[in-house]
Amino acid sequence: MTIKLPKIIGHRGACGYAPENTIESVQTAADMDVEWVELDVKLTKDDIPIIFHDDTLERTTNGSGLVAETLYEDIQQLEAGSWYADSFAGVKIPTLEEMCEVLVDLNLGLNLEIKPCPGREKETAEVALDHLSRIWDDHERLIISSFSHVSLETAQDMAGGWYRGLLIEGEMPENWKDMADYLDLSIVSIDGNTCTREAIESISDMEYAVLARKVSDSQRARQLYSWGVDAISTDVPDVIKETILTVH
């Protein structure tokens, strides 16, 4: 299945400018005219899908402990903005549903990364897709991504027609083509800072869309686009946007 990706995807919203994975971060991305955002979803102890990156609460909230051992009613009390800047004090951790409402209002596409806490690979995909199937209509503007093959397999079983993306860290594994074929992917996502032209071309040759992550440098972005990358996921969408405006 061929997907039409935007040139730029805001990573965790626009997390270079606002606390990651929050409504404020997504609003910041929209203010920069970003068309899609990438966000992470995982489950609370009581299986509520929330938009959150880490397995633990310490780095980005005033709480502590494991997300997988914390009830949603306690997650809801946490503050997730001050760690980033005092101006974001009071910002909350959104649920998947709350976030999707905002995305629809802002007319943003979504690359949703299934980010399971260890051991919850299947159920995280199951719950997230179950919620999404009720609240997300535009499947031309939704990707289900993951590093977890189990999460992607679950997504394939539950919603075979939705676009799926495999996240690859570091070098391309030798068997990546078999994995991509088995998981019936549309997108392969690689580290934009370390990937080679050969890797990009080998993905494109298989007719998968290439999504390069972690790119904040405009020179590198220009090089990646010239090598055939379809989309760049970035913390700083405004910087990469300048690249596009000056390419041609």
Chain residues that interact with ligand G3P, rule: CB under 6 A: 11, 38, 40, 53, 113, 145, 167, 189, 213, 233
Residue 53 annotated in active site: yes
CB 181 within 8 A of CB 207: no
Least distance in Å: CB of 226 to Mg ion? 25
Q: State the Cα–Cα distance between residues 14 and 79, nearest whole angstrom.
A: 19
Least distance in Å: CB of 12 to ligand G3P? 7
Q: Which of 113, 126, 153, 235 binds Mg ion (CB under 5 A)?
A: 113
Residue 131 annotated in active site: no
Instruction: Name the one residue in this structure whose structure tokens are 């700083």.
Output: 236
CB 158 within 8 A of CB 188: no
Run of H or E residues at 144 = strand 142-146
In the bound state with ligand G3P, the residue whose beta carbon lies nearer, of 38 and 121, is 38
Return the residue nearest ligand G3P (CB atom). 38
Q: Which does 51 bind (CB under 5 to 8 A by kind): ligand G3P, Mg ion, none?
A: none
Q: Is 126 near Mg ion (CB under 5 A)? A: no
Indicate the residue type of 137.
D
Least distance in Å: CB of 168 to ligand G3P? 10
Q: Which does 213 bind (CB under 5 to 8 A by kind): Mg ion, ligand G3P, none?
A: ligand G3P
Q: Where does this chain touch Mg ion (CB under 5 A) — which range of 55-63, 69-77, 80-88, 105-113? A: 105-113
Nearest C-alpha neighbor of 145 from the set 110, 183, 114 = 114
Q: State the Cα–Cα distance between residues 39 and 24, nearest whole angstrom.
A: 13
Q: State the Cα–Cα distance between residues 124 and 228, nearest whole angstrom.
A: 33
In the bound state with ligand G3P, the residue whose beta carbon lies nearer, of 74 and 214, is 214
Helix/strand number for the chain, H first, E second: 9, 9
In the bound state with ligand G3P, the residue whose beta carbon lies nearer, of 148 and 233, is 233
Q: For residue 165, give the 3-state DSSP assignment.
A: strand
Q: Where does this chain touch Mg ion (CB under 5 A) — which range of 41-49, 113-121, 147-155, 218-226? A: 113-121
Beta pairing partners, 36 = 9, 109
Residues marked active site are found at 11, 53
